[in-house]
Amino acid sequence: MIEDALEMQDNKDLSADLAIIGAGPAGITIARALAGSKISTLVLEAGGMKYSAEAQDMYAGESVGIDYPLTGSRLRYLGGSSNHWGGFCFPLAPIDFEVRDWVPYSGWPIRYEELQPYYDRASEIVEVLPGRFDDVDYWNKKYAESIPALATGRMHLGFVQYSPPTHFGERYRADLENARNIRVLLNANVVNIDVNENGAAVKQLKVRTQSGKSHTVRARYFVLATGGLENPRMLLLSNDVMKSGLGNQNDLVGRFFMEHPHLQGNAEIVAADARRLPRLFHEVITFNGHSAYLAFRPSSEFLRAKKLLNASIQIGFAEEHRRSKPAQYVGPVRAKEQADMLQAAHNFIVDSSDDRRRRDPDYLGFWLGSGAACEQAPNPASRVTLSSERDALGLPRIRLDWKLTEQDRRSIMQHFYSLALEFGALGMGRVLVNMRDDGIWPDMVAGGNHHMGTTRMSDSPANGVVDRNCRVHGIENLYVGGSSVFPTSGIANPTLTIVALALRLAEHIKGRFHEAV
Amino acid sequence: MKLYDGQTPGTPANYRCTRRSFLLYSLLGILGLEIGGCEQSGGVQDAWLDDVSPYPEEAANIGREYLAIHPEERNHEFLVRKVKDALLVSPGRESSEINAVNKVDYTFAGLEHAIRSEYARGDMVNIHSWIISPTEARLYALFSLR
């Protein structure tokens, strides 16, 4: 059942076994996992069925570090930020879960293997093929090309699979409407999480609409699943009993904000022999109704040996170089540099047995652009706090201070070099790394709308906000869903992992109800 | 027979002085190696570099950039010696291979192998953001010294 709080009478006292704050991928996944059970579930969505500027404005705030689009990077209506999701899916790598002595604050309390079965189920939910994320043979059936083994030991090949993308509000709306134990309440803004006098349990939620109605929600268990920026905000502003906010006894809520810094065009590749460069390396592959794109990623061995952070680099065809028509997109200076390299290195990157120049003397080669996403090391100074500004409900807005480190930058530089070395070692092309190795992040760095780390998971409350089951340390009945629990970001776009963790959390919550029976 | 250790290679009965084998021997001749079966003629750099790139002007452009960054290498003999060193250390090429003079790509294959090996090992130089192997850079530098 889906209802609208705007249409309810004022001052309603609502109750359920489980209250979920937020109807994005995490909240909807948990609710659906409980559909048909005896656990009555109330999902509180702050927005409506569709986008509205009024609801979206609640996401505005201050960005005081690296400029960040606080409003544009998320959406506040049914389905949450999946409504503008690009659909990129792949799981975190096993190394991402490990304690890495070169990455401060690294290490998840759970291992990859513990999450792997949930990844398979999550893949079905986001409508991609379970497994197949590193399966070169499977995707290469489309082309049946000869795929060279990478030569440097520094990189390996993986795949991003494309979800349609799954917009959770639209895709699973019928499930929410039809499940007898699920009730979704739209336009229901949680304005405080009320805890008992010692702060050890949540008593109720205070809910308000923008039209001025107020309600309360009581439940045995609560899940906060409002996204990696809003989750810490809710915990911090619920400070009537615990003055520093909920779960914040060690001043960790909101810290460790991580993104995946994205760099576009920082590696330019010139090549001339299309037969040496498999299409699999630079084209979207659509096969058996699913789509994927290959990515170059650092090997675990290289990451360990060089003490680097993770990354993922994809390349795509840009344009041809011809004598009569130089490449246009890069400007005349770079076009000449690329053409010079194509010609100088011609014999090293073209198979002499079938040199296209003989048939087409005007042809010089082509160039490819790149897109890279980088792991950001956990950094307590990169953080979300509350602003002195207030939203339409009188709540403190968010204040984000996103910071990157030299370790982050140094890592991606090395991975660009690795790409260049692979192309050289395989005789496929030559690579220009268009990023100065001067210790300064390029101006063009942007995030991927991935908000992670702000309620990080740890077995110890000294190091994290939630435990391995995503329960807030010190609060018996409050859980957190979403990428805010990621202790490290890895390099995978977070939605698949968010859904996998939500499935795992739903199982845990089911177990708690069974224990109580 | 050991071609690259400074000793005299033999001349197989079916030896033909192909252009590319001539080019390698020219290179070795520059290095003062005693070789047989093919005489070195004038314009030593011209001779063997032509096989490296069919576009000498463009190769020289990159070579000039390299030498501007590494002016200490602006010396023909030094550069040739470094190229030879790279051939010597290039792993995976047995002497039987490098003496297989009937292979048309004999010399170029050796250079290509050495260069690919440098990439695979992570040996690289940065020439105004182009990441290339040191030997490749030195070959381009030699073009610029012609």
Give the domain ranges of chain B: 49-144
Nearest to A421 among B124, B128, B130 (CB): B124
Q: Smallest Cα–Cα separation from A315: which of A372, A370, A373? A: A370
The burial of A277, by beta-carbon neighbours within 10 Å (0-12 exposed, 13-18 middle, 19 or more buried), is given as: buried
Asked if B8 and B99 count as a contact pair (C-beta separation under 8 A), the reply is no
pLDDT tens per residue across span B91-132: 555 544 444 433 323 368 888 999 999 999 999 999 999 999
Nearest CA in chain A to B123: A421
Min Cα separation A419/chain B (Å): 10
> Hey, which CATH number is domain A1-59+74-128+165-260+453-517, 3.40.50.1580, 3.90.550.10, 3.50.50.60, 3.20.190.10?
3.50.50.60
Q: Contact B129/A340, CB-based, under 8 Å?
A: no
- Ranges in chain A annotated CATH 3.50.50.60: 1-59+74-128+165-260+453-517
First-to-last CA distance in chain A? 26
Min Cα separation B112/chain A (Å): 7
Tell me the two tokens of residue A4.
């609208």
H helix and E strand count, chain A: 13, 20
Nearest to A347 among B53, B122, B128 (CB): B53
Rg (chain B; Cα; Å): 15
Give average pLDDT by consecutive 10-residue segment, chain A, 517 residues: 96 98 98 97 98 97 96 97 97 98 98 97 97 93 91 97 97 98 98 97 98 97 98 98 97 98 94 92 94 97 98 97 93 96 96 82 95 96 98 98 93 96 98 88 87 98 98 98 98 98 98 83
Query: A-chain residues within 8 Å CB-CB of B121?
Result: 152
Instruction: Give the percent of chain B with pLDDT over 90.
Output: 43
Query: A-chain residues within 8 Å CB-CB of B105?
Result: 352
Asked if A14 and A185 count as a contact pair (C-beta separation under 8 A), the reply is yes
Query: A-chain residues within 8 Å CB-CB of B55?
Result: 343-344, 346
What pairs with residue B130 in β-bridges?
Answer: A432, B127
- pLDDT lower than 70: segments of chain B: 1-46, 89-107
DSSP string covering A393-461, please? TSPEEEEEE----HHHHHHHHHHHHHHHHHHHHTTS-EEEE-S--SS---TT-B--S--B-TT-B-SST
Nearest to B58 among A344, A427, A435 (CB): A344
Interfacial residues of B (vs A; Cβ cutoff 8 Å): 51-55, 58-59, 61-62, 105, 108, 112, 115-122, 124, 126, 128-133, 136, 140, 143
Query: B-chain residues within 8 Å CB-CB of A437?
Result: 126
Nearest CA in chain A to B117: A425
Helix (H, G, I), strand (E, B) or coil at A13: strand
Query: A-chain residues within 8 Å CB-CB of B132?
Result: 345, 420, 424, 430
Q: Which pLDDT value is given to residue B47?
A: 73
Query: B-chain residues within 8 Å CB-CB of A422?
Result: 119
Four-CA torsion A236, A238, A241, A244, nearest 10 degrees? 10
Q: Which pLDDT value is given to residue A25?
A: 98
- What are the Cα distances from residue A395, in Å, to A210, A230, A388, A449? 12, 12, 9, 23
Q: Contact A430/B130, CB-based, under 8 Å?
A: yes
Rounded to 5 degrees, φ, ψ at A399 are -130, 115
Interface test with A, best of B131, B136, B144, B146 (most A CBs within 10 A): B131
Q: At a CB cut-off of 8 Å and minimum separation 6, what does A387 contact?
A: A61, A62, A396, A397, A398, A399
Nearest CA in chain B to A424: B119
Interface test with B, best of A321, A336, A346, A347 (most B CBs within 10 A): A347
Half-sphere exposure of A287 (CA within 13 A, CB side): 19
Min Cα separation B62/chain A (Å): 7
What pairs with residue A192 in β-bridges?
Answer: A206
Nearest to B62 among A151, A344, A426 (CB): A344
Cα–Cα distance, B82 to B139 (Å, whole number): 10
Q: Contact B120/A425, CB-based, under 8 Å?
A: yes
Four-CA torsion A459, A460, A461, A464, nearest 10 degrees? -60
Min Cα separation B83/chain A (Å): 15
Rounded to 5 degrees, φ, ψ at A13 are -105, 110
Query: A-chain residues within 8 Å CB-CB of B119?
Result: 151-152, 420-425
Min Cα separation B67/chain A (Å): 16
Q: At a CB cut-off of 8 Å and minimum separation 6, what does A358 contact?
A: none
Min Cα separation B84/chain A (Å): 18
Q: Which pLDDT value is given to residue A439?
A: 81
State the ipTM, two decimals. 0.91
> Residue A169 is inside which H or E element, if any?
helix A168-171
Asked if A484 and A14 count as a contact pair (C-beta separation under 8 A), the reply is no
Q: How many CB pairs under 8 A join A and B?
A: 91
Q: Contact A346/B61, CB-based, under 8 Å?
A: no
Nearest to A151 among B112, B120, B128 (CB): B120
Q: Contact B136/A345, CB-based, under 8 Å?
A: yes
Interface test with B, best of A155, A269, A334, A341 (most B CBs within 10 A): A341
Query: A-chain residues within 8 Å CB-CB of B143?
Result: 344
Q: Contact A422/B119, CB-based, under 8 Å?
A: yes
Q: At a CB cut-off of 8 Å and minimum separation 6, what does B146 contact?
A: B45, B46, B49, B56, B60
Cα–Cα distance, A237 to A232 (Å, whole number): 8
Q: Cβ–Cβ contacts within 10 Å for residue A274, how many?
A: 13
Q: Which pLDDT value is given to residue B24?
A: 52
Q: Contact B132/A154, CB-based, under 8 Å?
A: no
First-to-last CA distance in chain B? 32
Query: B-chain residues within 8 Å CB-CB of A344?
Result: 53, 55, 58-59, 61-62, 140, 143
Q: Contact B130/A341, CB-based, under 8 Å?
A: yes
Query: A-chain residues within 8 Å CB-CB of B62?
Result: 340-341, 344
